[in-house]
Structures are given as C-alpha cells and as structure tokens.
Structure 1
Amino acid sequence: MIAVLRAFLRGRGKRVRPLFCHIGWRAVTDAPPDPRLVDVGVGLELLHGHALVHDDLVDRSLTRRGGPPVHVACASLHGADAWLGVSAAVFLGDLAALWAEELFQRLYEPDIPPAARGHLSAMRAQLLDGQLLDLAEPSQRFGTVPEAFAVIHAKTVAYTVRGPLLIGAAMAGAGPDVNDALAGYARPLGEAFQLQDDLEDVAAVPDESGGGEDLKEGKRTVVVALAAQAATPTQRTLMTRLLGRAALSSGDLAELRATIAATGAVEQVRAMITARRRAALAQAARGPFTERGKALLTAMTDLALPGVADWPEAAV
C-alpha cells in the first residue's frame, strides 16, 4: 500500500506549489535560496497528495488523471475490497500529511520569520474551507458563478498559488509591498488555473475518449453554472438528467459536453481564462520584484496555463 501512495505522488502533476514557493523567494532577493526551502516545497507537495487522496474519497472518484485514485488502487490489491480501499486511503492520506508536517517543522526554526508559519496555517485552513464549501448545498440546482468562485478562491487561489508564494517570500524576509503584489498576481492566475482545469473536463478532446469526471460527479463549476444560466428549457432538462450520473456512457457524456458548449459557456470561460492570464502577466511585470522574480513569475504563468498563450483569444 505504501507503493500505491508512492506511485500516486510520482504522478503527472505539475508540482506548481513547490515551484511557487521557490519563486516567492526569488521575487524578494537574488541571494541563493535557503536549503530549507526545498524541504518546505516537498512538504507542500506531500500536503497536496494528502488532499487529493481524501478529495477522491469524498468525491467517490473512480479515476484520477487517467489512473486509479488511491482507494481504488488499494482495493484492487485485496480482491476489489472497496471498504479496505477506503480505509487504506484514509490512513495513507494521513501519512502523507504527517510527512508534510515533519518537513514543515523547518519553518519553526528560530531564524525563520514567523510570517512563513502564519501563511502556512492560513493556506491549510483555506483549503479545508474550500472543501467544505464544495460540499455545501447550492442555492440553485447547478450552483451559481459566485458560489463556484468562492470555492476557487479557497481551494486554488489561496492554496495553490498565493499560500506557497507567500511562504517562500516570507522565508526571504518579504515586506508588505511584495506580499500585496504577490497576492495581486495569485488571484487572477489561481482563478485561470482552476477555470482551465474545469474546462478540460467539459470540453471534449478530439479523438480522446473517457474523462468527464467532474461532470459524472456533478461538480458545480463556473462553466456548468454559466451553461445553466444560458440553457434553453430543453438543454436544461438534458443537463438535469445527465449531470452527476456516475455511470455516464460515452455517448451521454458526449451529448452533455455538446449541450454545455452549445450554450456558449465554453467560449465565456475561455475568455475569462485569457483575461486573467493577461492580468497575471501585467502584475508580474509591474510588481516590486527582483528582475529574476519577474521572469520566473512570467514563465510560471504559462507553465500553469499550458497552451493558453496559443489560443486565438490570447492574442487579442
């Protein structure tokens, strides 16, 4: 079972949280990074692994980026015993969190500014807040755009971008001006990062089958909320019938995706992503950062948003 967790942590993630933590340091100073920055970055990746293992349990996910989530992989080791898989995933997620906490102890050493610990605590609390918001009963059948953005701000802006940036910056002794500028960069980039992730689940990829996990789970994303707002009665009926069905056939999934696209929601979200990418790039260029920090923030924008720079909308 430890091997399952190891394979899961070695998966296809972009490692954006450790990268943002490193860039936070580079935004403040040209001095070589403190070696403890690496430990903290690994801790952030382990914390993310913990969150994903438990998130897949909460969502009852059967796949994770084309592979099995931890609870499914563990169940398969023992004759498809689903309850054993769930139980093992709880403990393995906790184990990843424990390893993260051991590495985060570097932030409690006397010469590390206390602000770094404060940013870590806030980031972890906001992650849990976002998870609970994700479970809350929506005000409407498909949720609303403000409700979806509230989850994005807690689970992605604060936890994926702002928190790691501020932790790395605090370790380098950042002042309020740098912190404010990093937060101003984190908001549009974090929003765009999650919007693109949600869009990839909804927009069918040519010649590629499968996917659609968020649609099968009935996630109340921005693109789903926008589609519901613009849908005709017939389109809304189809969305009601298919959204949230775990056993969607490939034909039903294709029909649901086509219906959402026909409302114009996909184009709206693409425009949101490109506008936020431009805002993040502008903030990276004008913030009170080192020149290397500006370059890294600029490069990280397109690493976090793969392919968006090549969209026709991005050239506008």
Structure 2
Amino acid sequence: MISLRRQPMPSTRVLATRTNRKTRKPMQFRGASIAFTLILPVFLIAASAATQTGEEGSIELVDPKVLRVCADPRDLPFSNEAGEGFENKIAALLAQKLGKTLAYDYYPGATGFVRNTLNAHRCDLIIGMPQGDDIVQGTNPYYRTTYALVSKQGSGLETIDSLEDPRLKAKRIGIVAGTPPATNLAVNGLLGNIKSYPLVVDTRFDSPTSAMMEDLEGDRIDVAILWGPIAGYLAKHAKTPVKVTPLVKETSGPRMIYRIGMGVRHSDQEWKRLLNKLIAENQTEITHILAIYGVPLLDENNALLTQ
C-alpha cells in the first residue's frame, strides 16, 4: 500500500505521514435515485425536529452513544491500531468526557482518506487536521506547532535555528521531499547539500523519517528537518541525544507554523460546537498528552511552551 505521509503543506492539505496494509473498496450506492426519493421526506422531518429540539447530534451522528473516530492504523506518533498515538489518547479523553464508547474506522491516510471515512459517514471525527484545510469543517485549534531542525548534541550545530543560517552551506541536510522546508532550502541555495527522503512510500517496508534519524545518528547527515510532532517523537526514542529546534524565524519561503484542530463534516454544526466546548474545557489535559509525546508546542508569539 502506497500512502502519503502526514505533513502540512503550503496549501494546508494534509499530505500525511500515514499508512496501512489494509484497503477498503468504496461504498456502493445502488438504486441511489430511488432511495433518495423515498428517504428525502423522512430526512427533512428529522432535520426539522433536530433544529427545534436542539438534540445534540440527533441527525449529525449516526450513533450518539459511540464516538467514532477516523484514523490511520499505522501512523505513530499520531495513531495506530494499538491506540499508542497521541491522537488515540486525545480521542480516549474526549470519549470519557462525553460518556461515549470509543470506536475507530481505520483507513490509510492517503488520497481519499476523508472521502472514504468521514464523508462516507463511517466515522464522525478526525482528531488532527491543519486549520484552514477546507476538505473538512475544522474545530478551534488545540495546538500550534512547526517544522523543526534536529541536530546531535555536541555537534556544535545545536544553536542553528533557521534555514537561513550560513553554517548550513557546509552541512549535509536531511529533508522529506515536497515539504515546505524543501522550498526554503532551495530559496537559500542549499539544494546541493540535501539528502532527500521520499514523501510517498510503502511503509510496510520503508520509514523515511526513521531512516533520516538513523542517518543523523550515524553521521551520514548533519541535521534533519522534520514535521515537529514527528521530530519530537523520534527524538525521544533516539539512540543518541539530539536537540529539536522549532523553525520559527524564516523570513522567506512557505510558512512553517500551523494550527492543528479537529475535522468534522461541513454539515455537522452542533457537533463542531460541542467539540469546541470540549477542547476549551480540556485544553490542559490535551496539552499534557502532546507534551508527553514531545510535540513542539508554540504560543501565539512563537515561543516554545514549557513542557
């Protein structure tokens, strides 16, 4: 299975670090015109009743007793089938606060992820989506993060905090192809210094971000540039001490910093409002979960939050 790894892009679309071995055929809608004719009057009555009574999720959520989350089954540090990702932990927290049972619809996080999960009504929530990605209706953001530069402790490169630093002109730089920092490297005349790692892979066999960290530890590259949540997670599991430096000082090229919220269907207004309330009420616990995984968390002034 080939999939795109999750990394926010200049368009804010998620070209995700996600993958899975399983595939699922698209849903088949037979006799759609007949079914629509029969169901439409009932749907309109239900919609009217929901509007009048204000029942939360009465027509928005298929099963009001279950929190159905759309997720990639093999996408650490975000999610996996064992529930070990930070998005799994946040989903469990929300389910607890809502008094709902937690269930997942797992699907490879590649092209068609939203279409075949959330928009197919197989689930009701995507835990992590860049703010501004109009493929979904976004909630309020619950964290703000950035791409980061990873260097080995003791290398003398720990103070590099921008891709415009002239010291990089003599260094070997690891970068995932097609991500925003790759453009910045080109702008700064550093294309001749890079070792490129693929964005599109079959992760049953390859893990470009892990390979990049192994190359850093083995001195085959001098610095690694990764999406912040991935950088922080891999740094926590690195065999040698490394430093993760958020890239917040770039003056050219595409943006590095993104707000991350949750994603729901465009029609699910009440559900979005409820989620916004939950995020606000549980922000401290959510932030604690993110910090455990080493996610570089930024305030609105781009300062790194204490973790």
- Name whichever structure is richer in helix by fraction: 1
Same fold (TM over 0.5): no
TM-score normalized by the length of structure 2 = 0.30
Q: Which has the higher contact order (CA 8 A, sep 6+)?
A: 2
TM-score normalized by the length of structure 1 = 0.29
- Name whichever structure is richer in strand by fraction: 2
